[in-house]
Amino acid sequence: MKRLSLKIKLTLLYTFFMVLATCAVLAILLSLSNREILAGAQSRLERRVQDSADDVTLEDGGLRVDSDFYSVTQDVYLSLYTEDMYFLYGRVPYGFDVQPEIADGRTRRIAEGNTDWYVYDMSFRLAEDYTVYLRGITSVTDAEASFGVTIRFAVILFPLMALVTAVIGYRFTRRTLLPVKQITRTVQKIRADADLSRRIGLKAPEGRERRNRDEIYGLASTFDDMLEELEEVFQREKQFTSDVSHELRTPISVILAQCSECLEDEGLTARQREQLLLIERKAKDMAGMISQLLFLSRADQGRQPLQKETVNVSELTLMTAEEQQLLADAEGRGVRISCDAGSDITACVDETLFIRLLVNLISNAVSYSRPNGKVTVSLSCADGEIKGTVRDNGIGISEEDLPHIWERFYRADASRQPGGHSGLGLSMVKWIAEAHGGSVEAESRLGEGSTFTFHMPAGEPEEKN
Ligand code: ADP
């Protein structure tokens, strides 16, 4: 199941507690007002009965009742009884068919059909030996009906209020979490482009002092400070690599120069010559590595220029393949390079870098080939894009290693590798392809061989923003 976003979770939580609080408040209010309504109806009934005692008098031995007695005021029906429950005068409400016992001075609640009634009896003496009972009746159900309107109103308003609460809660949460989204987006961009110069750069709302900013603004500015420091560290590291490579270049050149001078000496023993040749070979490997390191550190610092011009890439590919064949022949492992570079394909590329890319791919294919292995180089052009492929039937790369081969100094299995390999070649290949607005990918099966394919726009690539 898809996980709910923090925004939705907070909105649900917020709405849940709002609904809970509203329910509790409504329940208390409704129960209080219901009690209030019933108590009001009861006291109205009692007051009306007590006030009506003045409407009944004895005149010339006969009973005289004021006309007010008969009218239903404040929903109270009045009736008059003798002591032995004989009805004398008055009205009983329609539907009130029972004749409860007299209960002097006490209000009772009596249910009759679908209606509840309050009945209040009061005795009073009209003469020394003449006592009558005054009965007041009022409908509880009618009194409660007005309360029902309030409940209905609340039932309609309640979901509306919950909806409004949810909408406001959602908008509020979204606004609050907007900076988090911005932080995530910036970090994702930093990861995708490996560009540490990016900043989250959240602006505090106008007029807010730094100390008044909320936690998320604090987090964003801490992130920015951390990125600042990281960028500085990386910058220092790049500078260090570049400085060290520069410093090493001179002693290596001296070693190489001295080696070749010593090797010219005819008086060297075979053992001495062998040792000198080994020193020279290792120094050359080191010189190669230093030049690759310098290239990459210049590229990192944006100081590796691209001198693009329209060149015949078919010719360049063919020439590079032939040169690599000569080097392979010198190794004497019988590796054959076949090349199909199309005819006169032209592209706008940096010639030196394009050759460097090919040299790296072809020399790898040769190095990681088996004795008498076969390397196939091909180049084609379609839809304004050149596509180059270098295929070998060599040792191949395992599935676990394949995603990492583009990383600097990564070597799949150093123990199986020939000398002179630093693990920097493919990083350079990747940089060159991307700097030309293209890409490079690898397919491989361990023990069966590898295929490296690069694509580049044949014309001037569009400027990257
Ligand atoms: P290296 O200088 O070690 O060849 P690269 O960056 O050129 O460095 O290559 C990185 C790793 O990728 C190599 O160490 C090797 O394990 C693997 N690799 C590159 N090309 C091939 C290939 N054609 N066949 C098998 N493995 C290869």
Average pLDDT, the chain: 87
**Which amino acid residue places its CA nearest to atom 13 of ligand 1?**
411
- Mean pLDDT is highest, among 4-8, 54-58, 80-84, 323-327, for 323-327
| Backbone torsion region of residue 453, taken as left when φ is above 0, otherwise alpha when ψ lies between -120 and 50, otherwise beta | beta
Q: Is position 236 within any domain?
A: yes
- Count how many domains the chain has: 3
Same domain for 425 and 324, yes or no, is: yes
432 CA from centroid of ligand 1 (Å): 16
Torsion of CA 8, 14, 17, 22, to 10 degrees: -120
Of 376, 400, 417, 426, the one to substitute when testing ligand 1's pocket (max ligand atoms within 8 A of C-beta) is: 426
Residue 209 placed within a domain: no
Q: How far apart are CA 369 and CA 328, in angstroms?
A: 11
pLDDT in tens, 289-300: 888 888 888 888
Residue 104 pLDDT more than 60?
A: yes
Which residue's CA is minimally distant from atom 14 of ligand 1?
411
CATH code (residue 292): 1.10.287.130
Amino acid at 189: K
pLDDT for the residue numbered 68: 81
Rounded to whole angstroms, the Cα distance separating 42 from 352 reads 105
The Cα 443–Cα 36 span in angstroms is: 83
pLDDT number for residue 464: 44
Angstrom distances, CA of residue 182 to CA of 8, 197, 198, 217, 366? 18, 16, 12, 11, 48
Same domain flag for 239 and 323: no
What's the whole-number mean pLDDT along residues 59-81?
85
Atom of ligand 1 nearest to the CA of 413: 16
- Domain membership of residue 120 (yes or no) is yes
The pTM (predicted TM-score) of the whole model is 0.58
Q: Coil, strand, or helix at residue 209?
A: coil
Q: Among 33-37, 192-196, 434-438, where is mean pLDDT lowest?
A: 192-196
Q: How far is the CA of 412 from the centre of ligand 1 (A)?
A: 7
Same domain, 294 and 317: no
Q: Each residue of 405-418: pLDDT tens digit?
A: 999 888 876 555 55
| Domain extent at residue 344 | 308-457
Q: 395 and 296: one domain?
A: no
313-331 and 351-367 helices, crossing angle to 10°? 30
Please give the backbone phi and psi of residue 255, each rounded to the nearest 5 degrees, phi first.
-60, -45
Closest to 227 measured CA to CA, from 276, 190, 264: 190
Q: How far apart are CA 2 and CA 309, in angstroms?
A: 52
Asked whether residue 1 carries a pLDDT value surpassing 70, the answer given is no
pLDDT tens-digit readout, 180-194: 888 888 889 888 877
- Per-residue model confidence (pLDDT) at position 465: 41
Per-residue pLDDT at 277: 94
Q: Is 368 in the pocket of ligand 1 (CB under 6 A)?
A: yes
| Domain contains 213 | no
| Whether residue 300 has its Cβ less than 6 Å from ligand 1 | no
Q: Read off the tokens for 368.
A: 């990681």
- For residue 370 and ligand 1, the question of a CB distance below 6 A is answered with no
Q: Within this chain, do residues 22 and 63 fall inside the same structural domain, yes or no? A: yes
**Do 314 and 292 belong to one domain?**
no
- 405 C-alpha to center of ligand 1: Å? 7
Q: What is the mean pLDDT of residues 378-387?
A: 94
Per the CB < 8 A criterion, the answer to whether 421 and 309 are in contact is no
Cα(292)–Cα(245) distance, integer angstroms: 9
Residues 270 and 344 in one domain: no
3-class secondary structure, 149: helix
Q: Which of 106-120, 342-356, 441-455 shows the lowest per-residue confidence on average (mean pLDDT)?
A: 106-120
Which residues, at least 6 apart from 76, have a Cβ–Cβ distance to it below 8 Å?
Answer: 44, 45, 48, 49, 136, 137, 138
The answer to whether residue 220 sits within a structural domain is no
Q: Are 263 and 277 in contact (CB under 8 A)?
A: yes
pLDDT for 125:
86
- The token pair at 255 is 């070693």
pLDDT band at 79 (very low <50, low <70, confident <90, very high): very high
Closest residue CA from atom 7 of ligand 1: 425
Model confidence band, residue 126 (pLDDT cutoffs 50, 70, 90): confident
Helix axes 351-367 and 425-435, enclosed angle (nearest 10): 140
Is the Cβ atom of 450 under 6 angstroms away from ligand 1? yes
